[in-house]
Amino acid sequence: MLYLQVLINGLVLGGLYACIAVGFSLVWGVLNVINILHGSFVILGSYVAYFAYVHLGIHPFYSIILAGAVLFALGYALQLGLINRVVGAPVLTTLVLTFGLDLLLNNAMLVAFSADYRSIQLANPLGRMDLGEVTLPLDRVASMLFALGLTGLLYLLLGRSRIGRAIVAVRMDREAAALMGVRVRRVYAITFGVGAMMAGAAGSLLALIFPISPLNSSEFLGIAFVVCVMGGLGSITGAMIGGLALGVIESFAALFIGPEHGLTIAFTLLILLLMFKPTGIMGRRGYE
Amino acid sequence: MAEPLMQIQGLESGYGEIQVLWGIDLEVHEQELVSLIGSNGAGKTTLLKTISGLVPPTNGSVLIDGEEYAGRRPDQMLTAGVAQVPEGRRLFRTMSVRDNLLMGAYMRPQNDPGIREDYERVMAMFPRLAERARQDAGTLSGGEQQMCAIGRGIMGRPRLLMIDELSLGLAPRAVEMLIESLLELNRAGVAILLVEQDVATALDLAHRAYVVDRGRIAMSGTARELADAPEVREAYMGI
Ligand SMILES: Nc1ncnc2c1ncn2[C@@H]1O[C@H](COP(=O)(O)OP(=O)(O)O)[C@@H](O)[C@H]1O
Ligand SMILES: [Mg+2]
């Protein structure tokens, strides 16, 4: 029963990890940009949810929309104004640019919000549900379901919508996509905006679970990076599976070795996995 | 003679510092089939890419129905009715054949009933594709891929279809089928600008042709004239 509980906790965490990683993976896969800003995007989403709750009484589940919209706009503008200038440059160049932008954004948040950890205390929490010896923390479970739902929506958007097909086409062959009439630079901006939007939405959900501070951004970036490498680049299902796997591994590592080592152990196991299966869980297809 | 569908004058372009085209003059009329021949590296692909908006021109003009289109984006060229089937097919490999064809109709309103019609037309033209509509495009044979690439071009309902290297690397039987389909398309009213390394075939199909040499038009005329010209026979047909 203890193991079942740990598994559930891991899946809850993992659903949120998937949502954090999926936008990062999309941007990496389509633009070939490793977006160092991603962790700060998540934090900014958390702050949007925090202030919306504290000042306006908007529940973080509703703030998904608000945080998503704010972050989409920010991501779209950054891509169109700045990052589009270096797309296609060697990966180091784009890395340096997003690294610099991350320093700016993260420090701006430190100045504006301070490094103090804040958290949302819900006035009406959903509480817990006991199923025999297993307990479901309902707010967390609901967050995880929202996170997986959003990831699923993104999957549908890519597969079914016109803009989604354009994004996939650009990922496979930029020039051929242009010959179909796809406006590649605009698709880049939208893709980056969608990546940021997913980060913002994830941040909004995480605001219920983790303390909020700009200092956490590198941890979220690390999670996104590992999940995405593990699941295969640019693959939504890969990010979903990778996120869930990371959450579960982290939970069990915390149980067996100690909570403070959970992520460290998880990252170490992933390095081992990659040594034996360098294409990630989803294999080559994720790259195409 | 009526105003050409496309009239190119003094077109120059290249890649960064490297100039490839040095003043191309060329025209294609409604419903014409025009071939471009020339050795490897002559600049044929660069010419098509410059017309379709993938490579920006540095000089010269591209008139469509008398209106200036030089330097426009690819989506604007498609709206003007000019589509390009790129060298090497360049299909979206992990999309199905059907989705590849639908990408060809990307610019058209999604509820346009003509899309369905054109899809059926492509399927009728290439029954092999109909059998493989749900397969990933990457699993097709070379000839089938070229059918899919041409079908994808047709799905944009162009008035001028530019095809880069129709037969390169394909089996003779596949090439024959593709040629039949092109002639059918042309009879249906679509003008074609064809780049084809098999010079005998290129001149056999076309109404008129141009010889591109080091970024310039070296010769032009009716396909007949060029096929009979000693320079062409010697340099490109090995006779
Ligand atoms: N992307 C590119 N960057 C730089 N030079 C190029 C590029 N593509 C083609 N070239 C050069 O332009 C010239 C013409 O090439 P191309 O248009 O492909 O000729 P063709 O299609 O007639 O074989 C060649 O010398 C080629 O090396
Ligand atoms: Mg070529």
Q: Label residue A262 by pLDDT band (50, 70, 90).
A: confident
Q: Which residue's structure tokens are 């999957």?
A: A155
pLDDT of residue B114: 95
Residue B196 corresponds to which tokens in the numbers above? 């084809």
Does residue A260 register a pLDDT over 90? no
pLDDT of residue B1: 64
Task: Report, as an integer, the average pLDDT of A49-71.
Answer: 95
Which residue out of B49, B92, B101 would a mutagenesis test of the A interface target, given it has the greatest number of A Cβ atoms within 10 Å?
B92
pLDDT of residue A287: 38
Other CB atoms within a 10 A radius of the CB of residue B172 amount to 9
pLDDT of residue A288: 36
CATH superfamily for domain B1-81+158-239: P-loop containing nucleotide triphosphate hydrolases (3.40.50.300)
Are B95 and A172 a contacting pair at CB < 8 A?
Answer: yes
Q: Label residue B239 by pLDDT band (50, 70, 90).
A: low
Number of domains in chain A: 1
Are A181 and B78 a contacting pair at CB < 8 A?
Answer: yes
Rg (CA), chain B: 17
Packing angle between helix A138-160 and helix A60-81, nearest 10 degrees? 40
Helix (H, G, I), strand (E, B) or coil at A47: helix
- Identify whether the C-beta of residue A100 lies closer than 8 Å to the C-beta of residue A93: no
CA distances from B168 to B19, B162, B175, B208 (A): 26, 15, 9, 21
Question: DSSP letter at B96?
Answer: B
Q: Which residue of A has its CA nearest to B107?
A: A181
Looking at residue A241, its amino acid is: I
Predicted interface score ipTM higher than 0.90: yes
- What pTM did the predictor assign? 0.90
Ligand 1 centroid from CA B137, angstroms: 27
Residue A83 lies in a domain: yes
Q: Which of A17-21, A49-53, A238-242, A271-275 has the lowest mean pLDDT?
A: A271-275
Specify the DSSP element, H or E, that contains B63: strand B57-64
Order of all β-strands in the sheet with B82-85: B82-85, B160-164, B191-195, B33-37, B208-213, B216-222
Are A169 and B110 a contacting pair at CB < 8 A?
Answer: no
pLDDT of residue A168: 93
CA distances from A248 to A5, A128, A185 (A): 11, 20, 38
Q: Distance from B101 to chain A by nearest Cα, in Å? A: 10
Q: Distance from B239 to chain A by nearest Cα, in Å? A: 37
Residue A218 corresponds to which tokens in the numbers above? 């590198």
Residue B181 CA, chain-centre distance (Å), reads 14
Does residue A286 register a pLDDT over 50? no
- Identify whether the C-beta of residue A126 lies closer than 8 Å to the C-beta of residue A209: no
pLDDT, tens digit, 9 for 90 and up, residues A109-152: 999 999 999 998 888 788 888 888 888 889 999 999 999 999 99
Q: What is the widest separation between alpha-carbon atoms in chain B?
A: 53
Q: Which residues pair with B84 in a beta bridge?
A: B162
What is the residue range of A147's domain?
Answer: 21-115+136-217
Q: What is the widest separation between alpha-carbon atoms in chain A?
A: 60
Q: Where are the domains of chain B?
A: 1-81+158-239, 89-156
Helix (H, G, I), strand (E, B) or coil at A77: helix
Interface check for A162 against chain B (CB to CB < 8 A): the answer is yes
Q: Label residue B28 by pLDDT band (50, 70, 90).
A: very high
Does residue A285 register a pLDDT over 50? no
Task: Report, as an integer, the average pLDDT of B146-162.
Answer: 97
Residue nearest atom 1 of ligand 1, based on CA coordinates: B15
Task: Report, as an integer, the average pLDDT of B104-133.
Answer: 95
Nearest ligand to the CA atom of B42: 1
pLDDT of residue A280: 67
Averaged pLDDT of chain B: 95
Interface check for A181 against chain B (CB to CB < 8 A): the answer is yes
Averaged pLDDT of chain A: 90
Instruction: List Cβ neighbours of B66 (8 Å cut-off, separation of 6 or more).
Output: B3, B7
Residue A179 lies in a domain: yes
Pair type for strands B82-85 and B160-164: parallel
Residue A186 lies in a domain: yes
Task: Report, as an integer, the average pLDDT of B93-108.
Answer: 95
pLDDT of residue B62: 98
Residue A224 lies in a domain: no
Residue A265 lies in a domain: no
Task: Report, as an integer, the average pLDDT of B162-178.
Answer: 95
Task: Report, as an integer, the average pLDDT of B189-199.
Answer: 96
pLDDT, tens digit, 9 for 90 and up, residues A171-203: 999 999 999 999 999 999 999 999 999 999 999
Does residue B12 register a pLDDT over 80? yes
Q: Is B44 in the pocket of ligand 1 (CB under 6 A)?
A: yes
CA atoms within 13 A on the CB side of A152: 7
Q: Label residue B174 by pLDDT band (50, 70, 90).
A: very high
Task: Report, as an integer, the average pLDDT of B204-219.
Answer: 96
- Identify whether the C-beta of residue A238 lies closer than 8 Å to the C-beta of residue A286: yes
Ligand 2 centroid from CA B56, angstroms: 17
